[in-house]
Structure 1
Amino acid sequence: MVFGFNLNENEDGDVSIQNLLPGSPAFKSGMINKGDKITAIQWEGSKPIDVSNATIQEISEMLSASNHTKATITFTKADGTKREVTLGKELATNDEDDDKVTSYVLKGEKNVGYIALPSFYEDWENESSINGCSNDVAKEVLKLKKENIEGLILDLRFNGGGSVREAIELAGIFIDAGPIAQMKFKEPKAFSLKDVNRGTIYDGPLTILVNGFSASASELVAGALQDYNRALIVGSTTYGKATGQRVLALDTNIVLKDFKEESIKGNSVKLTLSQVYQVSGKTAQFRGVVPDILLPDATEAFNKKERNEPFAIPANNIEANKYYIPLKPLPLNLLQEKANEYIKADVYFEEVNKYIRTKKIAQQKKDVSLKLDDIIKEMNNDDDLDEEQSELPSLKKVYTVSNNSFELERINANNNLKTINEAFKTRLGKDAYVNVAYKLLLLMNK
């Protein structure tokens, strides 16, 4: 039985999520992403255990303990915020499970659909990609259409990417057949990555939520839908990774076309072999995708983007795809004006801006005290700030969160799933960014 994630340990000894198992309790929680650090574990009926300094082996042994089936795990996100997620162990999920992605209905002045996608997973065993994330999202969109939604929010915050193929097919759900992106190798000419399926599954108002840790495949989708004026991109500037790498063995006897990265046993080298461009000719590399509607976001407090890497490849533009025809422009000036009003009226964003300023001032310090008391005080101050950021209040609710009717019966039959579901619905109801996205969709419907 598993919670549904694998762990990784970095050079500093921090234990974080390496990847999520699609359809697992961790994946379905909607609150866990690759790179999240585990800082505490609390078994049901017990006190929390601080594991912020534990090794990967110690944490793995704790999580695999057979005498416990439910735990509340505290994760620290890449932006420093903390989230407590209660998970129950379940049998490893079948790859053909139809319920890897979960959708919700935000009920207020109008019904708006909400789908969070933690990663772009792929169906490795099936060429048709029938069990990939794009197909799973499409199924949820169809369920939401039965709920008479008048807008849709696709949440790609903290989604670090994954399969480019799935990203192309996901964008194709919302765009008629045509070019989605361009890819360039060492040859002078770029080639198009196309949506070959005519028609769309959903053609109503659409908002994509992103932040500074939306990367790679997430940026491909956001950039494509922005170029086509198909979706309103809301949040903060994305990570800025639009290159493709491959790990090669330092072995002159390998046959490249038959080579598999997982078979490497000796020394290896990681090479950048390709770069992805938007259909407009721009690239998210180095500079990221800049949202149509910018919102204050805690991820802006950290220098943890592609451009901060010592050997990051700078951005450059190429010619736009000649077959790319954008839709009618969205009323961005009006929408940003309204968004600014929402930001000023919400104490959450005021506190986020304060948090960003405080973190940036701390990063500028050149002198560091080596006294133990000063170090402990500084660590406690950081923890207090992070805790405040995790628990900031938001504006009065403008919607309630419900499951789609297809999901209710399954949730009620599974206590673990019911716990995860209620926790996520509570967080979703308080999410200031979803709150703004919902209000903007109402305006787009007028």
Structure 2
Amino acid sequence: MRLKFLFTITLLITIGSFYSAAGELDSLSKSVQFLVKRIQSKHVKPRAIDEAYGNQVHDYLISFIDSDNEILRVDDLTYLKGLSSKIPDNIKNGNQFYFNEFQRLVNLRSKEISVFQERFLSTPINLNSTKQFDFNQQQKITESTYKTFWEASLSYSILSEMVAMHPKDSKLLLKDSLVQFEKKARLKIQNRTTNYLESIQNAERLKELYLLAIAMSFDPHSSYFSPSQKKGFFEELSVQKEKFGISYGLDEENRIILTDVLPGSSAWLSNELFTGDFILGIKFGLKNSSWLEIKNGVSGLKELSEAFEKFDGREISIRIKDENGDEIQVDLEKGVVYNDNDNIKNALMLGSQKIGYISLPDFYTNYSADMTEQGCANDMAKCILKLKKDGIQGLILDLRGNGGGSLYEAISLSGIFVDYGPILATQDNLGVVKVLKDINRGFIYDGPLLVLIDEGSASASEIVAAVLQDYQKAIIVGVPSFGKATSQQVWPLDPVVGEIGGIQENPNFGYVSITEGVLYRVNGQSNQVVGVKPDIEVGMTAFDSTQHRERNYKNALIPPPIEKKISFVASSNPLPVAELVAFSVKQRATGIYDSYYKTLDTISSNYNQSKATKLDLASFWNESQKNNQLRTRFKSLSVEPKWPYTVSSNSFDQMVYDKNPILKMYFEDFTKHLNSDIELFEAVGIMDEWLQTINK
């Protein structure tokens, strides 16, 4: 059963109540009307609120709640699709008949499934069934087949869990443990399914998702934010985040446990809190006399999340039960904690040449005490200077998986490699084109540069990759990028504030992120939908066709051409693209790279094959063993092979690591990650060849 469980838990943080200026409860209809009005007034390409728009709202809402078609039946979907043509009238007239019917059917089907699964899972399943589970059947669930589907789906999930309960090195079924495994797996699946069904019946959550569908139907990147989501959105643009240092979630028995303790935080420094500890209670504020007693299940998780959202203080007490059954109370203080996942990182690749490597996870920005921005561009400059001091001959900038962030930081960072000139152009909803320039003359790095991109490189990443490609300052390596070339602005939905400055908005109305501009490269083209195409393909496998990109959105914006000619001066030094493409093709066909790509293509072929799965444990086990062999074969390729280059820290950072054990631990983990990154070392091989060509 392919339930979107983690996605569901994430969206359980519900929106605040909607209030009018008079403090009275506002209707969903008024919220929808104001949301649509605000987007239409600002959107770069506002669309008509017509039948096609209503159909788009329906499609998004179904994808949020039931993308695998596990809940609603064919007749439900047909009925709702027909009603969706009336959504424009619902918006105009201030009624929500479509949404009310959607909510009614979701609640009805969820309750029916809940009753069925509780009854079905009350007894052991048949481990020698002759039935099969066909994922394609999910497109055909009807009143007469939904019980058959759910019986097969639940059985499939239980068999999956039973196989997973075996030791990793087990070659045979542990027959003496099967009764115990089945019971444990059945309980786990029952809890998971119950949590899922409970979560999608949450009325406030459904309203939030409806508002999100209303916004996204203008384009995929216009979005509705609840107050807490807006706060999280802006926190993601910064690496300076204050945290208590704990993460929590549900275990297999539906109890709330600590799922992570962040190194360097007060929770970590206490040396008393560990992953797996059961959370019994939280006291918000050390002077507070009352405890929030923690309940099990989704309802308890939701209550705890909401309590943390509302708490603005800096101190809490947490009461836990550890693995020994001892109850412990720990006082925690919120503080700024270094999070390695959010920060720029660098390393030296030492071999026949000395190559610098910089990984940028996103285009973050911070503000210093005097409110000057000190974001990733500033950090990038520092990294390059440290690497240059150690005498690097070439540099690899890794933007893989970088989904974007601050447009200002992207422009500033591009200026590190570009002497002076335009970086990109934007076009607003009036057709006005504005050219954004790097105003600082000079550059910090002008040597051989490779930029790594993949399908996760989006927005600001694509700006940087494109400008370096157009200025012929770098060779772009990887697979085509995501293809997002639009910019967004966040606005409050408080109708009293409107566009009047200086008034503090009521956050309970929520916020909207509106696509207000289309971005263009200095060559006049846009990355929108098409993405940045690499000069040299690295990492291209059969999996690439399954990766989600901007082009997969049905309502992705297609930007109009711009007539404005942008003047810029590309580098006069030709890049050896053709020679390095030939080298890359040869390199890919040899050694570990050949094995790597062939294995990935085999896994992809098996993954993409749609076939029914036998629901007897023996067949399930045999199939899982075949898949495990493939996975083991793949993992063996990336278990720190003997590369011609070794990973090292730069000299300055090494002195820091010698004095800071936490940062040293992070760098050691980073080194292990790099040593298992076959595509990175493929790029290192290309850079090595480039440098050898220069040195001849």
Calculate the TM-score normalised by the size of structure 1.
0.75
Structure-1 separation of matches of 2:388 and 2:253: 46
Matched, 1:405 2:651: yes
The SS at the match of 1:435 is helix
Structure-1 separation of matches of 2:636 and 2:594: 12
Q: 1:237 aligns with which of 468, 480, 483?
A: 480
Distance 1:187 1:379, change over 3 A: farther
> What letter corresponds to residue 406 of structure 1 in structure 2?
F
> What letter corresponds to residue 434 of structure 1 in structure 2?
L
> Which of 282-291 and 128-137 deviates more?
128-137
Contact 1:167 1:218 (8 Å CA) reproduced = yes
Q: What is residue 499 of structure 2 aligned with on the other side? A: 256
The SS at the match of 1:135 is helix
Task: Give, in angstroms, the shift of residue 400 of structure 1.
Answer: 1.4
Q: 1:325 aligns with which of 569, 587, 598?
A: 569
Matched, 1:305 2:306: no
Q: What is residue 218 of structure 1 aligned with on the other side? A: 461
Distance 1:240 1:117, change over 3 A: same
Distance 1:205 1:54, change over 3 A: farther
Matched, 1:344 2:589: yes
Distance 1:407 1:265, change over 3 A: same
Task: Give, in angstroms, the shift of residue 378 of structure 1.
Answer: 7.2
Task: Give, in angstroms, the shift of residue 342 of structure 1.
Answer: 1.2
**Can you give the 5+ residue segments of structure 1 that lack an aligned partner in the other structure?**
1-6, 27-37, 42-49, 73-88
Structure-2 separation of matches of 1:262 and 1:350: 58
Task: Give, in angstroms, the shift of residue 268 of structure 1.
Answer: 5.0
Task: Give, in angstroms, the shift of residue 240 of structure 1.
Answer: 1.2
Contact 2:261 2:275 (8 Å CA) reproduced = no
Q: 2:364 aligns with which of 109, 116, 121?
A: 121
Q: What is residue 22 of structure 1 aligned with on the other side? A: 239
The SS at the match of 1:265 is helix
Alignment of 1:86-125 (within 5 A): 92-93=335-336, 101-124=344-367
Contact 1:122 1:163 (8 Å CA) reproduced = yes
Calculate the TM-score normalised by the size of structure 2.
0.50
The SS at the match of 1:256 is coil
The SS at the match of 2:551 is helix
Contact 1:208 1:233 (8 Å CA) reproduced = yes
Contact 1:101 1:137 (8 Å CA) reproduced = yes
Q: What is residue 197 of structure 1 aligned with on the other side? A: 440
Contact 2:347 2:647 (8 Å CA) reproduced = yes
Task: Give, in angstroms, the shift of residue 116 of structure 1.
Answer: 0.8
Structure-2 separation of matches of 1:421 and 1:227: 34
Q: What is residue 314 of structure 1 aligned with on the other side? A: 558
Task: Give, in angstroms, the shift of residue 70 of structure 1.
Answer: 7.5
Task: Give, in angstroms, the shift of residue 148 of structure 1.
Answer: 0.9
Contact 1:161 1:216 (8 Å CA) reproduced = yes
Task: Give, in angstroms, the shift of residue 252 of structure 1.
Answer: 3.3
Write out per-residue CA displacement over residues 171-211 of structure 1, whole angstroms, 9 at most, x where no aligned residue.
10000111011111112232111101000011111111111
> What letter corresponds to residue 239 of structure 2 in structure 1?
P
Structure-2 separation of matches of 1:372 and 1:129: 63
Alignment of 1:46-195 (within 5 A): 58=257, 67=271, 92-93=335-336, 101-124=344-367, 129-195=372-438
The SS at the match of 2:509 is coil
Q: What is residue 190 of structure 2 aligned with on the other side? A: none
Contact 2:497 2:505 (8 Å CA) reproduced = no
Structure-2 separation of matches of 1:216 and 1:433: 22
**Bigger-Rg structure (1/2):** 2
Write out per-residue CA displacement over residues 261-283 of structure 1, whole angstroms, 9 at most, x where no aligned residue.
99632255543211111111122
Contact 1:179 1:321 (8 Å CA) reproduced = no
Contact 1:249 1:264 (8 Å CA) reproduced = yes
Contact 2:367 2:373 (8 Å CA) reproduced = no
Write out per-residue CA displacement over residues 333-365 of structure 1, whole angstroms, 9 at most, x where no aligned residue.
111000111111143454335424543663462
Q: What is residue 677 of structure 2 aligned with on the other side? A: 431
Give the structure with the larger helix fraction.
Answer: 2
Distance 1:148 1:270, change over 3 A: closer
Structure-2 separation of matches of 1:386 and 1:241: 32
Distance 1:71 1:223, change over 3 A: farther
Task: Give, in angstroms, the shift of residue 434 of structure 1.
Answer: 2.4
Distance 1:105 1:229, change over 3 A: same
Distance 1:262 1:215, change over 3 A: farther
The SS at the match of 2:515 is strand
The SS at the match of 1:193 is strand
Task: Give, in angstroms, the shift of residue 284 of structure 1.
Answer: 1.6
> What letter corresponds to residue 445 of structure 2 in structure 1?
Y
Structure-1 separation of matches of 2:407 and 2:612: 43
Q: What is residue 10 of structure 2 aligned with on the other side? A: 9
Q: What is residue 229 of structure 2 aligned with on the other side? A: none
Structure-2 separation of matches of 1:56 and 1:172: 51
Q: 2:538 aligns with which of 283, 288, 295?
A: 295
Contact 2:470 2:570 (8 Å CA) reproduced = yes
The SS at the match of 1:240 is coil
**Can you give the 5+ residue segments of structure 2 that lack an aligned partner in the other structure?**
1-7, 12-63, 66-194, 197-231, 277-331
Matched, 1:275 2:276: no
Structure-2 separation of matches of 1:58 and 1:430: 31
Task: Give, in angstroms, the shift of residue 426 of structure 1.
Answer: 2.9
Give the structure with the larger strand fraction.
Answer: 1
Q: Among all aligned residue pairs of Structure 1 and Structure 2, give the percentage whose two residues are the same amino acid.
A: 33
Matched, 1:335 2:568: no
> What letter corresponds to residue 549 of structure 2 in structure 1?
K
The SS at the match of 2:589 is helix
Structure-1 separation of matches of 2:530 and 2:253: 36
Structure-1 separation of matches of 2:666 and 2:497: 47
> What letter corresponds to residue 340 of structure 1 in structure 2?
V
Task: Give, in angstroms, the shift of residue 130 of structure 1.
Answer: 4.4
Write out per-residue CA displacement over residues 101-146 of structure 1, whole angstroms, 9 at most, x where no aligned residue.
3321111112111111111111245787542110011011111111
> What letter corresponds to residue 9 of structure 1 in structure 2?
T
Structure-2 separation of matches of 1:93 and 1:301: 41
Structure-2 separation of matches of 1:341 and 1:265: 59
Structure-2 separation of matches of 1:326 and 1:412: 43
Q: What is residue 86 of structure 1 aligned with on the other side? A: none
Contact 2:528 2:558 (8 Å CA) reproduced = yes
Distance 1:62 1:428, change over 3 A: closer
> Which of 106-115 and 56-65 deviates more?
56-65
